[in-house]
Structure 1
Amino acid sequence: MYAIVDIAGKQFKVAKDQFIYAPKMEGEAGANVSFDKVLLIDNGGKIEVGAPTVNGAKVSGRILEHVKGDKVIVFKKKRRKGYTLKNGHRQQYTKVQIESIG
């Protein structure tokens, strides 16, 4: 059994007891969260597609921790001008364990 869920504008394919790294959410580690924007549910081959969401469907999970992603280096240069700019960025994520789909 799996579901396609919209979390903060991004779609994730989730199953029970799976870990996902979603964009940073409000809440402390150990807090329960629920996602109402369920776009599709596959229950043993029986697929239910929402228009745009499945009515009454909910995916619940638990926040495990807040983490940072890998560093991305942004380097800009203009040739023959002596201009260089080096910048870095680390995106913040929330690690969520999916507990139930229903």
Structure 2
Amino acid sequence: MYAIVEIAGKQFKVAKDQYIYAPKLEGEAGSAVSFDKVLLVDNGGSIDIGVPVLSGVAVAGKIVEHVKGNKVLVFKKKRRKGYAVKNGHRQQFTKVQIESIG
């Protein structure tokens, strides 16, 4: 059984007891979260598709921890001008464990 759920404008395919890295969510580690924008549910071959979302279906999860992603380097340069700027960025994510679908 799996579901496709929208979290902060991004779509994730989730299953029970799976860990996902979603964009940073409000809440502390150990707190429960619920995602109600479920777009699709597959229950053993029986597929339910929402238009655009399924009503009465939610995905429950638990926040495990808040983490940072890998560093992305941003390098700007203009040739023959002596201009070079190097910046780095680390996106913040929330590690969520999916507890139930339905």
Distance in structure 1 (CA, Å) of the matches to 2:16 and 2:48 = 17
> Counterpart of 2:91?
91
> Counterpart of 2:101?
101
Any residues of structure 2 matched to 1:63-102 within 5 Å, and which? 63-102=63-102
**Residue 35 in structure 1 maps to residue 35 in structure 2:** yes
> Counterpart of 2:49?
49
Q: What letter matches 2:101 in structure 1?
A: I
Distance in structure 1 (CA, Å) of the matches to 2:55 and 2:67 = 32
Any residues of structure 2 matched to 1:18-29 within 5 Å, and which? 18-29=18-29
**Structure 1 residue ranges without an equivalent (≥5):** none
Local SS of the residue matching 1:29: coil
Percent identity over the alignment is 77
Q: CA deviation at 1:55?
A: 1.1
TM-score by length of 2: 1.00
Distance in structure 2 (CA, Å) of the matches to 1:55 and 1:98 = 19
Local SS of the residue matching 2:51: coil
**Structure 2 residue ranges without an equivalent (≥5):** none
> Counterpart of 1:61?
61
Structure 1 vs Structure 2 CA RMSD: 0.2
Distance in structure 2 (CA, Å) of the matches to 1:55 and 1:44 = 20
Q: CA deviation at 1:12?
A: 0.1
TM-score by length of 1: 1.00
> Counterpart of 2:15?
15
